[in-house]
């Protein structure tokens, strides 16, 4: 079981980031705590800090399994499905830059909040998302970078809330480059059964965010991570579990709890 910690390379309004301080401090701490990797939340992949963080991760012996893109939406208002074609064009350009950065470290690129919200009905929103993905996928294919679409709970978006909805998009696109990011916090709100939803993903499951029911570190809520890890093994998931957790009671304790608790579940299992 490979574990990563979400690290933002700039200050963010997104709360579930247990790594605080500068990204340099966060990377050093993740390595010290025994994480195998860091998932980097990157607003602008062309920034000097993005390249430097990547290099520093490699130097620290940390993998970078995924790049988060939510800040392109939260801070810059970019959305793949915005009604304004210019916003969509800039969102695609931004994600193209994420693909290029991801190619340098074997990461996948996350489509979370940057997919936007329902505007002008489901069909129109689906069509815009499809167009955006169609523009990105040739680059993704050429670069060998996968794209993972994340179902996000109803209180944060009204578009692609459940695993099933994302699987429909994934199947419609029909590219081996596109799959699902399953986030246990969102799933706990939206899914009738987390285990069944993971099973339905099968090999279309590309990445996993772990947080407990209250978005605190695993073990500090009421999710049964033992069962979830069993199901991940059953479906042959070989990717990372990435801790996307609130910095509570403080950043350090949260990050330490996640790695300690998850390692204890599979103390002897090969990664």
Separation CA 266–CA 271 (nearest Å): 9
Q: Does 244 bind ligand LER (CB under 6 A)?
A: yes
Q: Does 244 bind Mn ion (CB under 5 A)?
A: yes
Q: Does 126 bind ligand LER (CB under 6 A)?
A: no
Longest Cα–Cα distance of the chain, Å, equals: 52
Q: Does 94 bind Mn ion (CB under 5 A)?
A: no
Please tell me the chain's helix, strand, coil percentages from 3-state DSSP, rounded to the nearest 5. 45, 15, 40
Interface residue with ligand LER, options 66, 114, 152, 178 (CB under 6 A): 152
- Determine if the peptide bond prior to 203 is cis (ω within 30°): no
What's the closest the beta carbon of residue 151 comes to Mn ion, in angstroms?
9
Q: Which stretch binds Mn ion (CB under 5 A): 3-11, 181-189, 192-200, 213-221?
A: 181-189
Q: Does 54 bind ligand LER (CB under 6 A)?
A: no
Q: Does 156 bind ligand LER (CB under 6 A)?
A: yes
Q: Does 209 bind ligand LER (CB under 6 A)?
A: yes
Under a CB-based contact definition with an 8 Å cutoff, are residues 18 and 245 in contact?
A: yes
Separation CA 220–CA 224 (nearest Å): 11
What's the closest the beta carbon of residue 112 comes to ligand LER, in angstroms?
4
How many other CB atoms are there within 10 angstroms of residue 203's CB atom? 10
Based on the residue annotation, tell me whether 191 is a catalytic residue of this protein: no
How many other CB atoms are there within 10 angstroms of residue 127's CB atom? 13
What's the closest the beta carbon of residue 15 comes to ligand LER, in angstroms?
8
Separation CA 148–CA 182 (nearest Å): 9
Q: Which stretch binds ligand LER (CB under 6 A): 27-35, 101-109, 149-157, 260-268?
A: 149-157
What's the closest the beta carbon of residue 242 comes to Mn ion, in angstroms?
8
Q: Does 191 bind ligand LER (CB under 6 A)?
A: no
Q: Which of 39, 150, 190, 191 is catalytic?
A: 150
Phi/psi for 75 (5° steps) reads -95, -35
Interface residue with Mn ion, options 43, 98, 204, 209 (CB under 5 A): 209
CA distances from 109 to 117, 130, 136, 221, 226 (A): 19, 16, 11, 28, 27
Based on the residue annotation, tell me whether 164 is a catalytic residue of this protein: no
Q: Does 95 bind ligand LER (CB under 6 A)?
A: no
Interface residue with ligand LER, options 70, 151, 239, 247 (CB under 6 A): 70
What's the closest the beta carbon of residue 142 comes to ligand LER, in angstroms?
26
SS3 74: helix
Which residues lie closer than 8 Å to 269 by C-beta, 6 or more apart? Answer: 1, 233
Residues serving a catalytic function are 150, 244
Enumerate binding residues for ligand LER (CB under 6 A): 14, 70, 112-113, 150, 152, 156, 183, 209, 244
Enumerate binding residues for Mn ion (CB under 5 A): 183, 209, 244
């Amino acid at each position: 079981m490979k574990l990563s910690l979400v690290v933002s390379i700039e200050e963010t309004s997104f709360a579930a980031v247990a790594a605080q301080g500068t990204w340099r401090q966060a990377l050093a701490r993740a390595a010290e705590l025994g994480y195998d990797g860091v998932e980097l939340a990157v607003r602008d992949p062309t920034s000097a800090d993005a390249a430097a963080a990547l290099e520093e991760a490699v130097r620290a012996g940390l993998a970078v399994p995924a790049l988060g893109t939510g800040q392109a939406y939260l801070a810059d208002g970019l959305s793949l499905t915005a009604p304004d074609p210019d916003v969509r064009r800039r969102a695609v350009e931004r994600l193209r830059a994420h693909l290029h950065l991801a190619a340098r470290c074997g990461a996948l690129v996350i489509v979370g909040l940057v997919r936007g919200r329902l505007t002008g009905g489901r069909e129109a929103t689906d069509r815009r998302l499809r167009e955006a993905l169609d523009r990105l996928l040739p680059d993704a294919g050429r670069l060998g970078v996968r794209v993972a679409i994340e179902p996000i709970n109803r209180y944060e978006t009204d578009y692609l809330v459940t695993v099933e909805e994302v699987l429909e998009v994934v199947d419609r696109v029909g590219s081996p480059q596109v799959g699902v990011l399953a986030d246990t916090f969102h799933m706990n709100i939206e899914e009738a059964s987390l285990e069944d939803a993971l099973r339905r993903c099968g090999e279309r499951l590309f990445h996993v965010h772990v947080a407990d029911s209250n978005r605190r570190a695993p073990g500090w809520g009421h999710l049964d991570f033992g069962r979830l890890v069993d199901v991940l093994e059953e479906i042959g998931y070989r990717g990372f579990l990435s801790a996307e957790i609130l910095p509570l009671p403080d950043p350090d304790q949260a990050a330490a709890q996640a790695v300690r608790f998850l390692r204890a579940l599979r103390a002897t299992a090969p990664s």
